[in-house]
Every structure is written in structure tokens, then in C-alpha cells.
Amino acid sequence: MSTLGMAPSVADTDTARQAFTPIRPGHLIDKVNGKAPKVLILGGGPAGLVSAYELQKGGYKVEILEARSRPGGRVRTARKGVTETDLDGETQTCDFSPGHFYNVGATRIPQHHITVDYCRELGVELLAFGNQNADSLVYYDGDTPLNNSPVTYRQAKADTYGYVSELLTKAMNNGALDRELSKDDKDALSEFLSRFGDLSALGAYKGSSRAGYVGASPGAGLDYGEQRTPGALSDVIQSGIGRNLSFEFGHDQAMMMFSPVGGMDRIYYRMAEAIGANHIKYGAEVTGFSTGDNSSKPWATYTRNGQEEKVEADYIICALPPHLVLRLDTDLPKDLTTALKEAKPFSSGKLGIEYSRRWWEEDQRIYGGASNTDLAIEQIMYPYDHYNSDRGVVVAYYNNGDNHREFEKLTHKERLNKAVDLGKKIHGDEYGKNISSSFSGCFMKTRYSEGAWVDWEGGSHSHNESDAYKKALKPVGRMYFAGDHLSNSIAWQQGALESGRAAVTAIHDRVTA
Ligand code: FAD
Ligand code: PHE
């Protein structure tokens, strides 16, 4: 039945991501008597590339105009030889050892994102990405003995969950929840809290092996190890060591998480290869466009190798960042340009340091994941590849908003020095030793991005329903729009890929209507 299209296949019933039906080869050709329409795609980031890739499967002619000399847009991987000149004129060339890298932009993929499906389809192998690590650290400023020095995640978790469970148990036993809970409810909750907090028979938190040991773990014979003493109740609460424990509860941040072997940009190099070099013009900076209508074809102008060129098509998909579209010479209606102004670019960036010794593994037994802090660096991310080898690239900051702006205004060398000074507070002097090279990326200063992602007025990464957002979703004449900013997965490749597919579906529906 499903083969005949009369019942959903097992895959179709699985999750929303299977709702997209790639255009079947030959299907389009049947519908329009062998004349394949041409779709011009502006931008070779994930949204533009996936549009071309899926349209091509259906027999459409595609051409991509991409200003940079590479595919992937904000999916950037720093590895040996990668060069970037920031808008302020500073050039960095990455000098990491062969095989070592870090992802300047996108780095993690949750298992439910269609990004994983494209990796499978394109033969891009995945590695587990440690988004949570019991042995990484938290470091927060404050007035308790648990502040201004590193605490392991496992300790933060054990103590926070332990005391919260104890307090709730006490409140319940004192009758504070009698109006909300029946006797049976209370028994069940008590049972849950006892396990969740590792409580004593009397419902108290007395510490737990979950918090780890001082020095070595228990050994052979009579070596029981020295279990870590819990922080005092009020210190645990006031220190805020539990403030980031909810990060991993996020729909898109929960383990398992993945990342491609060799760097995130592998996905788009493979996709570009599949599309074919003759369908992608790199170094082609779009300068303007006309959206076309029933009687006229849409076109775009671009500069390439110093020449001004013009290209026409049956349809255009504009997959450029919205704030950059506003600078082009276009015939977009005023209500749309007004709407696009409500997509505000956001500051974010990272700095990677290659160390010639994996001290975080050798000395501290941290294998992947990230340490979090309220220092301006926000987090330190440890490599998820080359475990136990002789070197590796640590992300010394991945920070956002005001915290990133503190680094944005600095030269690369100054960023490195500041990142190392702050990192030493968490990892000690070792943090400044054995540094072999470094590379930083700042999206506000990156040409053809000028922002890490956008925030829509009144919306969020996962829910946008403002009038401006809805206006930006609509095609104009023969032009369709795509990009993560037109999705409810902003700042995720998922959003860009879904949005590209939506543009493809809309064009195909129109062509075959
Ligand atoms: P872009 O990637 O921005 O592509 C737009 C393209 O247009 C670019 O190639 C650009 O060069 C081109 N362009 C711009 N102007 C012109 C012009 N005038 N002419 C021609 N071409 C032009 N996603 C995840 O899945 N996981 C993550 O962990 C993750 N982390 C992130 C961390 C950071 C710091 C950042 C910045 C992004 C992260 N993302 C992550 C999000 C992901 O990178 C984006 O969602 C995705 O790149 C958006 O794709 P896009 O095609 O919409 O836009
Ligand atoms: N998707 C990006 C990341 O995981 C940006 C982001 C960070 C989005 C945190 C939401 C929350 O790093």
C-alpha cells in the first residue's frame, strides 16, 4: 500500500522530519513536458545548498551564487591553512597540526535533527559529541567556599539534587504539600526523591559517592577511597553551582549529540560535490535582484573577478542572511524590508587553542564536554576526537552577547591573552603552557555573516510568530526565501535545512500545479 502511495510508510509515520518527500527523479520532467525550470540560488550556506541538492534530485536546473570561496556559510571549520580576513582587516591563518581542528560555527548535532540524515545520505561519518561531562567543571564568582574555584559537574549535580530532594521531602513530611498531594502521591514522590537525591533513610542528604572522591577512586582490598564531603546546604544554594545543570535538558542539547569526523564543514563540501562544481559559482557576490512576476523572469546581479554579471532564472531562492539582503539593490516591497529590519544580528564567537599536551585528559581526566563559568569566556570545550593522543584543540571560549563583545573589539593576540588569563582561573597555570597555535572567529566581524544568527523581535530560537517573521516567510513574485532565520530552529543547521526544503516544496508545488 505504501509503495503505491496509498498508505504512509513506516518512516513517514515516525516523526515530522519524514514529512518531506524528496522530489522523485523524473517526476518533474513528466509534469512540465521535459522542460526543466531553472532555479537560481543566492548563498551557498546550508539553506542554499540543500535547496539546490533537493531540486536537482527532481530534475530542476540549479545555479548557486556564493560570495565566499567555499561552501557552508556559518558552518566553518578552522584547520591548517584556513585563512580569514575580518572586516577590520586583521588576517589569521590557522596553523593547527594536520588532522586537528575546531568548528568555529556549528559544532553539535542532536540525534533528532535532519542534519544527521544528510550526513548519512552524503556518507559523512559522525563522532559522539560530549555535550555533558560529569568530570568537567563549573566555576562561578561569589562569596561561598564553592565559588572562585572549580567544582566538578558531578559534585554540583549530587549536592544540588541532594539538597533540593531533602528540602522537598521535608516540606512534604511537614504537611506543606497536603493540599496538592494524596498519601499515595506522597509515598511515590518520597520514593522518587530518595533516589534522585541519594537521600538517607531519614530523607536527609549526607553526601554521595555520586559527587566523586578526593583524589583516587576506590581501589583494591581495603582502599575505599575518600568520598567527597558535600558543601553546606546554604553554600550549595548560594554558590549557584547548579545553575547550568538544566542545559542538558534542552530539547536540542540533550545527549546523544554528534559531530562529523574531521569537522562540521565536511557535510557541505560533500553536498557541494554532489551538486557539482559546474552548478556553483564561488567568489560571486550578489549585489542586487529583481523578484520577477507573472510576465517577467527574476534575475540577480553579482560581481565576480571584478566583473559585474547578471543572471536570469525561472525562480530564485534567496538564502542570504536577512540583514545583508537589506543592503542589496532590490525591488523588495517596503513592508518586507521593514519586516527584515526586525531580525537583529547577534554576537557570538569562539577561540581555539592547540596544545601540544592533552593536560585536560592526562592531569584532570576530562574527556570531552565543556566546563562552564560566569567569567566572560562562558565555557571551555574539550576536543571530542583524538582522545589520548599527544595534542588537541581546546575551545577556550564560546561566548555570546555582551561576553563576546568584550573579545570582539580585540585583536586575535589580545583575545588569546585574555582567554588564557581567564582560563587559568579554572585550570591553573597549565592553561598557559604548551600552546602551539590558536585561531579565533568573531561572527559580527566575519564578511558575509556579520552576525552569528538573528533574533526576531518578540520571538525565540524555537518559536517565532511575529508579523515580521510571517511576512519574511512569504515569497515575492518568483522569489522564495530560506535560511535558519525562517524557522523555529534558529542557530541550528536543522532550521536552515528545513527552511531550504520548504522553499523547494513551495516551488515544486507551484511548478506542478
Ligand atoms: P549561512 O550559513 O549564513 O549561509 C548564507 C550564505 O550566504 C553564506 O555562505 C554567505 O557567504 C553567503 N552570502 C552572504 N552574502 C552574500 C552575497 N552578497 N552574495 C553571495 N553570497 C552571500 N548549528 C548546528 O546545527 N549546531 C551547532 O552547534 C551550531 N552552533 C553554531 C554556533 C555558532 C557560533 C554559529 C554562528 C552558528 C551555529 N549553528 C549551529 C547554526 C548554523 O551554522 C546555521 O544555522 C546555518 O549555517 C545557517 O545556514 P544558512 O544557509 O541559513 O545561512
Ligand atoms: N545551536 C548553537 C549551539 O548549540 C547556538 C545555541 C546555543 C542555540 C545555545 C541555543 C542555545 O551552540
Ligand 2 centre distance from Cα of residue 222 (Å): 46
Q: Are 465 and 459 in contact (CB under 8 A)?
A: yes
CA–CA separation, 509 and 83 (whole Å): 41
Q: What angle do CA 379, 381, 385 make, to 5 degrees?
A: 175
- Residue 46 CB coordination number (10 Å): 32
pLDDT digit string (tens) for the chain, length 513 residues: 333 433 444 344 344 444 577 777 777 877 777 789 999 999 999 999 999 999 999 999 999 999 999 999 999 999 999 999 999 999 999 999 999 999 999 999 999 999 999 999 999 999 999 999 999 999 999 999 999 999 999 999 999 999 999 999 999 999 999 999 999 999 999 999 999 999 999 999 999 999 999 999 999 999 999 999 999 999 999 999 999 999 999 999 999 999 999 999 999 999 999 999 999 999 999 999 999 999 999 999 999 999 999 999 999 999 999 999 999 999 999 999 999 999 999 999 999 999 999 999 999 999 999 999 999 999 999 999 999 999 999 999 999 999 999 999 999 999 999 999 999 999 999 999 999 999 999 999 999 999 999 999 999 999 999 999 999 999 999 999 999 999 999 999 999 999 999 999 999 999 988
Closest ligand to the CA of 462: 2
CA–CA separation, 318 and 331 (whole Å): 13
Q: Which three cell numbers stand for residue 150?
A: 572549580
Ligand 1 contact via 324 beta carbon (within 6 Å): yes
From the CA of 108, give the closest atom in ligand 1: 28
Ligand 2 centre distance from Cα of residue 108 (Å): 9
Dump the DSSP string for 266-323: HHHHHHHHHH-GGGEEET-EEEEEE---SSS--EEEEEETTEEEEEE-SEEEE-S-HH
Ligand 2 contact via 104 beta carbon (within 6 Å): no
Ligand 2 contact via 492 beta carbon (within 6 Å): yes
Dump the DSSP string for 128-160: EE-S--TTSEEE--SSSTTSSS-EEHHHHHHHH
- Length of the chain measured in residues: 513
Smallest CA-to-CA distance from 398 within 362, 427, 423, 365 is with 423
Ligand 2 centre distance from Cα of residue 166 (Å): 33
pTM, entire model:
0.96
Nearest residue (CA) to ligand 1, atom 14 = 448
From the CA of 108, give the closest atom in ligand 2: 4
CA 92 to chain centre: 23
Per-residue confidence (pLDDT) for residue 8, from 0 to 100: 41
Ligand 2 pocket test, candidate residues 253, 257, 460, most atoms within 8 A of CB: 253
Ligand 2 centre distance from Cα of residue 106 (Å): 8
CA–CA separation, 21 and 275 (whole Å): 19
From the CA of 453, give the closest atom in ligand 2: 5
CATH number of 153-242: 1.20.1440.240
Ligand 2 pocket test, candidate residues 248, 249, 251, 252, most atoms within 8 A of CB: 252
Ligand 2 centre distance from Cα of residue 88 (Å): 26
- Phi, psi at residue 482, to the nearest 5°? -150, 160
Ligand 1 contact via 100 beta carbon (within 6 Å): no
Q: Is the dihedral of CA 16, 19, 20, 21 positive or negative?
A: positive
From the CA of 449, give the closest atom in ligand 1: 3
Element (H, E) at 83: strand 83-85
CATH architecture of 77-135+254-264+347-445: Alpha-Beta Complex (3.90)
Please name the residue ranges forming H helices in 142-232.
153-173, 183-197
From the CA of 398, give the closest atom in ligand 2: 12
CA distances 291 to 50, 448, 475, Å, are 21, 21, 9
List Cβ neighbours of 339 (8 Å cut-off, separation of 6 or more). Answer: 467, 468, 469, 471, 472
Ligand 2 centre distance from Cα of residue 181 (Å): 38
CA–CA separation, 334 and 337 (whole Å): 5
Per-residue confidence (pLDDT) for residue 9, from 0 to 100: 42
Closest ligand to the CA of 453: 1
Closest ligand to the CA of 103: 1
Q: In what order do the strands lie in the sheet with 257-260?
A: 109-110, 257-260, 126-129
Ligand 1 contact via 493 beta carbon (within 6 Å): yes
In 3-state terms, what secondary structure has residue 35? Answer: coil
* Residue-range domain boundaries for the chain: 30-73+266-342+456-512, 77-135+254-264+347-445, 153-242
CATH number of 30-73+266-342+456-512: 3.50.50.60
Per-residue confidence (pLDDT) for residue 19, from 0 to 100: 58
- Phi, psi at residue 385, to the nearest 5°? -135, 170
In 3-state terms, what secondary structure has residue 251? Answer: coil
CA–CA separation, 475 and 116 (whole Å): 28
18 secondary structure, DSSP code: G
Ligand 1 centre distance from Cα of residue 196 (Å): 40
From the CA of 115, give the closest atom in ligand 1: 25
Q: What angle do CA 364, 366, 370 make, to 5 degrees?
A: 125
